[in-house]
Amino acid sequence: MRRVRTHTNPLKRFSIEVPDWPNVFEDPKLPFALEFGSSKGEFLIRHAELFPKMNILGTEIRLPLVSSVKEKIKSLGLGNAHILYGNIANRIEDFIPCGRIDRVYIFFPDPWPKKRHFKRRLITSEFLLKLSQFMQKDSGIFIRTDHYSLFDSIMSACNSVSNSFVISEEPSLPIISAWEEHCLRTDRHFNKIYLKRI
């Protein structure tokens, strides 16, 4: 695979077609997980393998990675995994096949450290409130970041939606993302945040 740009503007405008869900998932009515920023798809694919009774939809804004992950999903015959090219943050309601979200994974989102780029950051209070509309009680959002400034920004957003979510102890996950594995291997500090729907 050719070198993929690390930073891609998530606000870049392009049309995202809503899939025909029965052609994407073998059973669209299964519980549903959503991953923002699937990168090379390691977590998405492992999640689909470990949780066959849960669909997972990944999103990624770098087209070469999306194409590669789709090929992996196809070759493994996973009927409960799919990945979309684009940013669906403002159109979440169009991409929930069963009408609800049971889990959300946001692992090491781009920190956009320059002040003029803060508007590109994914996790805001508005974004969390949007997610909350489709999440039932006790469903949750798993978040990871290794960037201090972004962590502060995320915590501010989390604290502003306390009527919808509570920061809670994270349920055990049998898998981790590739970058979390890297952080653990290299002793790189990162923060975990788990938001539970109330």
Question: Which residues, 6+ apart, have CB-to-CB distance to 98 below 8 Å?
Answer: 28, 29, 30, 31, 32, 55
Q: Which residue intervals of the chain are DSSP H helices? A: 21-24, 42-50, 63-76, 125-132, 148-159, 178-186
- Any idea where the domains of the chain sit in the sequence? 25-197
Check residue 15 and give its pLDDT.
76
Give the active site residue among 27, 102, 110, 138: 110
Model confidence at 144, in pLDDT bands (50, 70, 90)?
A: very high
**Helix or strand holding residue 26 (H, E):** none
Question: Which residues, 6+ apart, have CB-to-CB distance to 48 below 8 Å?
Answer: 56, 73, 78, 80, 81
Distances (CA, A) of 88 to 21, 166, 178: 16, 24, 23
Model confidence at 14, in pLDDT bands (50, 70, 90)?
A: low
Does residue 110 carry a catalytic annotation?
yes
Question: Is 12 a residue whose pLDDT tops 60?
Answer: no
User: What average pLDDT is seen over the chain?
Assistant: 94
- Asked if 136 contacts 103 with a C-beta cutoff of 8 angstroms, the reply is no
**Helix or strand holding residue 167 (H, E):** strand 165-167
- How distant is the alpha carbon of residue 25 from its chain centre? 18
What is the CATH number assigned to the segment(s) 25-197? 3.40.50.150
For the CA atoms of 86, 104, 56, 39, what is the dihedral angle to 10 degrees?
50
pLDDT digits (tens, 9 = 90+) for 29-62: 999 999 999 999 999 999 999 999 999 999 999 9
How far is the first Cα of the chain from the last one, in angstroms, to the nearest whole number? Answer: 43
pLDDT digits (tens, 9 = 90+) for 51-97: 999 999 999 999 999 999 999 999 999 999 999 999 999 999 999 99
Q: What percent of the chain has pLDDT over 70?
A: 93
| pTM summary value | 0.92
Model confidence at 114, in pLDDT bands (50, 70, 90)?
A: very high
